[in-house]
Amino acid sequence: MEIAGYITALLIGLTLGLIGGGGSILTVPILVYLFQVSPVLATSYSLFIVGVTSLVGSVSSFANKKVDIKTVVVFGTLSIITVFCIRHYLIPHLPVFIMINDQEVPVSLVTMLLFAILMIASSFSMIRGEPDKNKTVVHKAGIAKIALYGIAVGLVTGLLGAGGGFLLIPALTVLLRLSIRKAIGTSLVIITLNSLIGFADDVTHHEMDWPLLLKITGISVLGILLGSMLGQKLDGGFLKKGFGWFVLLMGIYILVHELTGIAGL
């Protein structure tokens, strides 16, 4: 099972490098199902893996001037604050069980159900496609809508340890009118900041398996380096749709698996 986990870890980075988001949605399921990490701890591990991997991708984006600094500051600030508040004030105080219809349901099981729903929502965004790479969208969004997206990305990252790229890319291209290439680079920087700030707080609450964490992260980093190189030659839109279908199937599998667990309680 671990070998399959390492192979899939490569896919995480590869997808981040090719399409700027989406790959991180696999991190928690990989950690839970293939490495037997508890769901709540897996969200912490995911923040580190996704954060470091995105950081490596960000360096290339900065070098190629594909990062919009103003957007990182304005849009990213709200999501970063949201991530910090959730990881610092909410996650450490979650109970082990919650009551649903007079039944004790493990929070870890609820976490995976939420993750399955997030994966299905993410897959629709990827399957639907993206704006033309050579065009910007002449659509002007209000401050309230931009703020809402920033907070939404922070909620996804803070609660579930996912980078939120499937929310970021549409927001940056449609709401803020960035080209798709600049949106990918800007997305990686925001994901980096959100993830690493969230993880920095988690270190004080959890005991980390650093050998495992560093191995998975190293493989994911290799994936993003390969993805960044291949992204200059391959059709990112086609790859994104194919990966979207894969994420959809995985999300449905997790949803069915976890609902079966609830039925057995």
- Tens of pLDDT, residues 177-216: 787 778 888 888 988 998 898 898 888 777 899 999 999 9
Q: How far is CA 201 from CA 48, 87, 91, 194, 204, in A?
A: 11, 7, 10, 11, 6
pTM comes to 0.78
pLDDT for the residue 137: 40
Q: How far is 123 from 162, CA to CA, in rounded Å?
A: 14
Confidence band of 218 (pLDDT split at 50, 70, 90): very high
Please tell me the chain's helix, strand, coil percentages from 3-state DSSP, rounded to the nearest 5. 75, 5, 20
Q: List the alpha helices (DSSP H) in 105-209.
A: 107-128, 143-160, 165-170, 180-202
Q: Decide if pLDDT at 164 tops 80.
A: no
In this structure, the chain runs to a length of: 265
**What is the overall mean pLDDT for the chain?**
80
Residue written as token pair 């398996």: 209
Q: How far is 145 from 82, CA to CA, in rounded Å?
A: 16
Q: Decide if pLDDT at 138 tops 50.
A: no
Are 253 and 113 contacting, i.e. CB atoms less than 8 angstroms apart? no
pLDDT for the residue 179: 78
pLDDT for the residue 134: 45
- The average pLDDT across 6-23 equals 77
Within 13 A of 24's CA, how many CA atoms are on the CB side? Answer: 35
Least confident among 7-11, 18-22, 44-48, 109-113? 18-22
Q: How far is 196 from 188, CA to CA, in rounded Å?
A: 12
